[in-house]
A and B are shown apart, each in its own frame.
Chain A
Amino acid sequence: MSEHILSIIWLTPLVGMIAVMCLPKESKDLIRYVANGFAVLGLLVTIPMIRAFDSSNGDFQLVERHDWIPALGAQYYLGVDGFGYLMILLTVVVGWLSILCSWSSIQERVKEYYAFFLFLQAGMLGVFMVLDVFLFYVFWEIMLVPMYFIIGIWGGGRRLYAAIKFFLYTLAGSVLMLLGMLTVYFKHYEQFGHYSFALEDLLRVAAYTGPEMQFWLFWAFFIAFAVKVPMFPFHTWLPDAHTEAPTAGSVILAGILLKMGLYGLVRFAMPLFPKGATDELTVQLVALLSIVGIIYGALVSLMQSDWKRLVAYSSVSHLGFCTLGLIALNPNGIAGGMLQGVNHGMSTPLLFLAVGIVYDQRHTREIADYGGLANRMPVYTVLFAISLFASMGMPGLNGFIGEFTILRGAFEVSIWWAGFAVLGIVLGAAYLLWLFQRVMLGPITNPKNEGVKDMNLREIIVMAPLIAGCFWIGLYPKPCFEILEAPTNKLVERLDPGYFSRNAEPADEAVQLSRLLPAETPASE
């Protein structure tokens, strides 16, 4: 059993999908129970992984490796390090919650809905654990399909447009990545005489590839991930997809799918092409785009009259922080970027869930249609406020830790980067607080809001774990940093060999911890 921990994790939702498909479509409640049961089961099967995972080990753990297509050198090759581990935990939690939160809001085509959702869950989990580039591409692509249907069938008014736009944007990015993958793969063959898609084999190619080639290959990968993140100017699919998707779809999009872009960068694009990632032009350009994204996303959020669209654009801004952290290429930046990814994966789903709760009652997303909800929904107001503060970066909540670490990382590179990013935080506070003021505070101006009900128990249960997570990371982030530390240091060492011996003075808690550990084995040959 123990050698199949990861397989069991991603196959559980898939089995759930098959189970749901076997049920008669009339018995909607049965389908809901089965789907939720498998979601909870998906949560439980990660327990062996949590027990077995050793965060001090920077190598891939729980490795599972079998031949799949020998002719291509593609393997069924799974394993996790700190990056994947956190993402898998985030995915099972957010996936479970989004399945739970669909209970009453999805009334039509229930069976297909849950089947697609479980399929999506399996695909996402796969992405975060594969170490074979070919298999990664398979998971990466296959997961677009259920998302297309979730937006397209159960979405809002412009769902068809939003669904196909999402699909085409991501596909266009991924085919470029495929070309990049095939090029590295071919170069590996030229150099070593055998075909292999295994990540560790392809990592060896970097030593034999010139900076210019690495630059182009990095960008071939980067565009695919930038579309997914999404980074300005590749973000235009996001407001449509997030706004039109059903609540659970938005939760998954914001919570997990966007993180795949970040994960892809640290897992594949950056380590595979260190010279491409550290190229001066790449760094400046990515930082510029991140900063533009931070400020542009915040400004556009400020102008939104649609509640859900506001939250959607806030993602552009927040993810700008993450990419800025990653491209700072130092331990603080990378660990902060990934941690902020996790944070965003908790706080933004909370905001979408909050929108969903009132939307289910009022069927409008216009901010102007609300006002004074605090008078009728006290519990909701408190939870919504916590979500806002988490998203805004209030000390004591998770957003603060992430943004602070990223700013440390950015500051080490350039004071300008940090300065602009701080401006983004200020704007973030502005649009979020203004939103709160408009929908929650003051007297009830719209008589239709008189009858809104406060949250029921199920809705509270859905939000509670994420809120707890926000507080946990906000108050005691050490475990997360410990998990991120080993892979982060390994990545930094690969990008910039000798980084740690040059910077003997520890800069931050995250790095201090690394001093206690045995010396890193350099990843580059």
Chain B
Amino acid sequence: MMDAISFTLSDFHVLKPAIVLCLFGCGILLTDAFLVRRIGQRWLNAVTALVGEAVVAAVLLQYLPDVRSGGSLTGLGGSIVVDGFGVFFNVIFMLAAALAVILSARYMEAEGEQRGEYYALILFAQAGMSIMATGHDLVVLFVALETMALSFYVMVGFLRDSQRSNEAAMKYLILGAFSSGLLAYGFSVLYGISGSTSLAVIGEAIAGRPALDWIMILALITTSVGLFFKIAAAPFHMWAPDVYEGAPTPTTAYVSVASKAASFALMIRLFVTAYGSVAEAWVPLLAIVAIATMTIGNLAAVTQSNLKRLLAYSSVAHAGYMLLGLVAFSETGLRGIAIYLLAYVFMNYGAFALIAALRRDGEAAEELDDLNGLFGRAPGYTILMAIFMLSLTGIPPLAGFYGKYYIFLALLGEGYYILAVFAALYVAVSAYYYFRVIRACWLGEAAERPASLDMNLGTRTALVASGVLTVLIGVLPQRFIDLAGESVLAALR
């Protein structure tokens, strides 16, 4: 299938983002060891990482003319295809990684863990994700997924002195390894079915099979469960609250946004390209999981008192909504997922940026009560927080609304009325816990020793930019909708 000897320029071209990221990652490790550590200004690593992101942005811009209007670039014998879909998701990863770097610069400093490896890991994880969105080959996809996951395991446990961080990393590692194992098993079955690791060939082989048999169901279930773990869908979401709570806050934001986006990218590719012909088998499965995910996520979030756990459950609930987009299995539904993920970058990062900055006497303050009376101390940021929460709820005209809009539209268009009613009523449930955050900020009485916001210029910029984009995508969504639409068309092609 693949001519292993020739590595041409076009192969290099499709791998550019990952190569750039790996080079910058290694560069950070080297400069940190030999240069930055000696000067003692380790925030410079963050600057290096941001330069890396800028180069990635340039590479993605370079792709644009080729992937516009349905074009694509193929490399490595067809195992990597850069199309609109891949570029769109790469933009999401780039934004998420850049925001993670910016937030980390201050947060890790305050936690006393300002080290170069951390930034290198952010980039390595992104390299993996980048290929998850462009890969068309099971082996490539699996290696990419593991690259991402392994980087995340370390990043989650990066606060060496924090017990919770260590516990979170351990939990994440064990459950993550288990789910990867399942996924690999499913992939091996797919290889057995089709005799190929290429998604397109697998898709044809599955379409050519006479009926749905147990081996197909086995492949379907093992791969689905593996991916359900990664997107934290119920009942495989158990790791999420602990990992979100224990991890350094910027990592939490990164995991919740980027890892979810990457897993969805892989999932969409797999389900559309390989499983497209057996949709009747997996649609009910996904529908049940989606309902369960929304139920557990929304109901569990209601009672949380820790902000990061609250957002963890909320993120579980959002995964449920996104799954519904896949259940509808239409262009509209997939467009909904793409828009949803894009909006999710800004609104979720915004919320986490504020939480990351919240400190009392140098200690991270992560309880809901720590927000009490924030309005008196930082009215501007409190307004931003309200915007993020309203957007997460799905109040128009904010970015988060459009994801739900398209997903509801897709469900109604395909005739899933009951599912749509369920999903819609859960919006009201979610409003309850998002409003607990707003209530604490605006209506809560400030404590005796209130937590204050500890921000540097980067965090401020990131926060304001997230807020502006959340509103901007909401009020003038045309361009973003078009982009998402184009990307989805590429995936369906």
- Out of B396, B413, B421, B476, name the residue touching A141 (CB < 8 Å): B396
Q: Given A69-B481, A153-B443, A171-B428, verify A179-B420 contact (CB < 8 Å).
A: yes
> Which residues of A (174-203) have their CB < 8 Å from a CB of B?
175-176, 178-179, 182-183, 185-186
Q: In whole Å, how far is A152's beta carbon from the nearest beta carbon of chain B? A: 5
Further 6 A-B residue pairs, CB within 8 A, beyond A160-B443, A175-B424 = A69-B476, A145-B386, A164-B435, A168-B428, A168-B432, A182-B408
Compute how far the CA of A148 lies from the CA of B431 in the bound complex, rounded to whole angstroms.
12
- Out of A142, A160, A164, A171, name the residue touching B397 (CB < 8 Å): A142
Q: In whole Å, how far is A214's beta carbon from the nearest beta carbon of chain B? A: 14
A186 contacts B409, C-beta separation under 8 Å: yes
Interface of B is mostly: helix
Q: In whole Å, how far is B163's beta carbon from the nearest beta carbon of chain A? A: 35
Q: Given A168-B428, A171-B427, verify A152-B395 contact (CB < 8 Å).
A: no
- Using C-beta atoms within 8 Å of the partner chain, give the interface range for chain B: 20 to 34
Compute how far the CA of A179 lies from the CA of B425 in the bound complex, rounded to whole angstroms.
10
Residue A72 at the chain B interface, CB threshold 8 Å:
yes
- Out of B431, B443, B477, name the residue touching A69 (CB < 8 Å): B477
B428 contacts A179, C-beta separation under 8 Å: no
Residue A472 at the chain B interface, CB threshold 8 Å:
no
Q: Which residues of A contact B421 (CB under 8 A)?
A: 176, 179
Residue B412 at the chain A interface, CB threshold 8 Å:
yes
Q: Given A69-B481, A149-B442, A160-B443, verify A137-B425 contact (CB < 8 Å).
A: no
A182 contacts B431, C-beta separation under 8 Å: no
Residue B439 at the chain A interface, CB threshold 8 Å:
yes
Compute how far the CA of A72 lies from the CA of B476 in the bound complex, rounded to whole angstroms.
11
What are 6 A-B pairs at a CB distance below 8 A?
Answer: A69-B476, A71-B478, A72-B481, A138-B397, A171-B428, A182-B408
A142 contacts B396, C-beta separation under 8 Å: yes
Residue B297 at the chain A interface, CB threshold 8 Å:
no
Most buried by A among B421, B424, B478: B424
Residue A359 at the chain B interface, CB threshold 8 Å:
no
B478 contacts A167, C-beta separation under 8 Å: no
Q: Which residues of A contact B408 (CB under 8 A)?
A: 178-179, 182
A164 contacts B409, C-beta separation under 8 Å: no
Compute how far the CA of A175 lies from the CA of B412 in the bound complex, rounded to whole angstroms.
13
Residue A172 at the chain B interface, CB threshold 8 Å:
yes
Compute how far the CA of A71 lies from the CA of B396 in the bound complex, rounded to whole angstroms.
16
Compute how far the CA of A183 lies from the CA of B421 in the bound complex, rounded to whole angstroms.
12
Contact with A along B170-192 (1 / 0, CB 8 A): 00000000000000000000000
Counting from the closest, the 10 A-B pairs by CB-CB distance are A172-B428, A175-B424, A71-B481, A138-B396, A171-B428, A182-B409, A175-B427, A138-B397, A186-B413, A183-B412
Q: Given A152-B443, A153-B442, A171-B427, verify A70-B478 contact (CB < 8 Å).
A: yes
B395 contacts A168, C-beta separation under 8 Å: no
Q: Given A152-B439, A152-B442, A152-B443, verify A175-B397 contact (CB < 8 Å).
A: no
Compute how far the CA of A167 lies from the CA of B396 in the bound complex, rounded to whole angstroms.
15
A184 to B, closest residue via Cβ = B412
A148 contacts B435, C-beta separation under 8 Å: yes
Compute how far the CA of A160 lies from the CA of B444 in the bound complex, rounded to whole angstroms.
10
Compute how far the CA of A175 lies from the CA of B429 in the bound complex, rounded to whole angstroms.
11
Q: In whole Å, how far is B470's beta carbon from the nearest beta carbon of chain A? A: 14
A145 contacts B390, C-beta separation under 8 Å: yes
A164 contacts B424, C-beta separation under 8 Å: no
Residue B248 at the chain A interface, CB threshold 8 Å:
no
A167 contacts B435, C-beta separation under 8 Å: yes
- Out of A168, A178, A183, name the residue touching B431 (CB < 8 Å): A168
Residue B350 at the chain A interface, CB threshold 8 Å:
no
Q: In whole Å, how far is A190's beta carbon from the nearest beta carbon of chain B? A: 9
Q: Which residues of A contact B386 (CB under 8 A)?
A: 145
A71 contacts B482, C-beta separation under 8 Å: yes
> Which residues of B (464-488) have their CB < 8 Å from a CB of A?
476-478, 481-482, 485
Q: Which residues of A contact B482 (CB under 8 A)?
A: 71
Q: Which residues of B contact A71 (CB under 8 A)?
A: 477-478, 481-482, 485
- Out of B425, B432, B439, name the residue touching A175 (CB < 8 Å): B425
Q: In whole Å, how far is A518's beta carbon from the nearest beta carbon of chain B? A: 40
Q: In whole Å, how far is B353's beta carbon from the nearest beta carbon of chain A? A: 22
Contact with B along A64-89 (1 / 0, CB 8 A): 00000111100000000000000000
Compute how far the CA of A70 lies from the CA of B478 in the bound complex, rounded to whole angstroms.
7
Q: Which residues of B contact A69 (CB under 8 A)?
A: 476-478, 481
Q: Which residues of B contact A167 (CB under 8 A)?
A: 431, 435
Contact with B along A136-156 (1 / 0, CB 8 A): 011001101100110011000
Q: Which residues of B contact A183 (CB under 8 A)?
A: 412
A186 to B, closest residue via Cβ = B413
- Out of A70, A72, A145, A182, name the residue touching B412 (CB < 8 Å): A182
Q: In whole Å, how far is B268's beta carbon from the nearest beta carbon of chain A? A: 20
A171 to B, closest residue via Cβ = B428
Contact with B along A115-145 (1 / 0, CB 8 A): 0000000000000000000000110011011
Q: In whole Å, how far is A510's beta carbon from the nearest beta carbon of chain B? A: 37
Contact with A along B364-395 (1 / 0, CB 8 A): 00000000000000000000001000100001
Most buried by A among B395, B412, B442, B481: B412
Contact with A along B423-450 (1 / 0, CB 8 A): 0110110011001000100110000000
Compute how far the CA of A47 lies from the CA of B324 in the bound complex, rounded to whole angstroms.
49
Compute how far the CA of A185 lies from the CA of B409 in the bound complex, rounded to whole angstroms.
9
Compute how far the CA of A185 lies from the CA of B431 in the bound complex, rounded to whole angstroms.
25
B481 contacts A178, C-beta separation under 8 Å: no
Q: In whole Å, how far is A10's beta carbon from the nearest beta carbon of chain B? A: 14
Q: In whole Å, how far is A218's beta carbon from the nearest beta carbon of chain B? A: 15
Compute how far the CA of A148 lies from the CA of B427 in the bound complex, rounded to whole angstroms.
17
A159 to B, closest residue via Cβ = B443
Q: Which residues of A contact B412 (CB under 8 A)?
A: 179, 182-183, 186
> Which residues of B (24-81) have their CB < 8 Å from a CB of A?
none
A140 to B, closest residue via Cβ = B396
Compute how far the CA of A152 lies from the CA of B485 in the bound complex, rounded to whole angstroms.
40
A164 contacts B428, C-beta separation under 8 Å: no
Q: Which residues of B contact A178 (CB under 8 A)?
A: 405, 408, 424
Q: In whole Å, how far is B412's beta carbon from the nearest beta carbon of chain A? A: 5
- Out of B413, B432, B481, name the residue touching A164 (CB < 8 Å): B432
Compute how far the CA of A157 lies from the CA of B8 in the bound complex, rounded to whole angstroms.
73
B398 to A, closest residue via Cβ = A142
Q: In whole Å, how far is B369's beta carbon from the nearest beta carbon of chain A? A: 14
Q: Which residues of B contact A149 (CB under 8 A)?
A: 442
A175 contacts B428, C-beta separation under 8 Å: yes
A145 contacts B424, C-beta separation under 8 Å: no
Q: In whole Å, how far is B318's beta carbon from the nearest beta carbon of chain A? A: 16
Q: In whole Å, how far is A135's beta carbon from the nearest beta carbon of chain B? A: 9
Compute how far the CA of A153 lies from the CA of B445 in the bound complex, rounded to whole angstroms.
11
Q: In whole Å, how far is B489's beta carbon from the nearest beta carbon of chain A? A: 13
Q: In whole Å, how far is B400's beta carbon from the nearest beta carbon of chain A? A: 12
A172 contacts B396, C-beta separation under 8 Å: no
B393 to A, closest residue via Cβ = A171
Q: Which residues of B contact A144 (CB under 8 A)?
A: 395
Q: In whole Å, how far is A192's beta carbon from the nearest beta carbon of chain B? A: 15
Q: In whole Å, how far is A176's beta carbon from the nearest beta carbon of chain B? A: 6
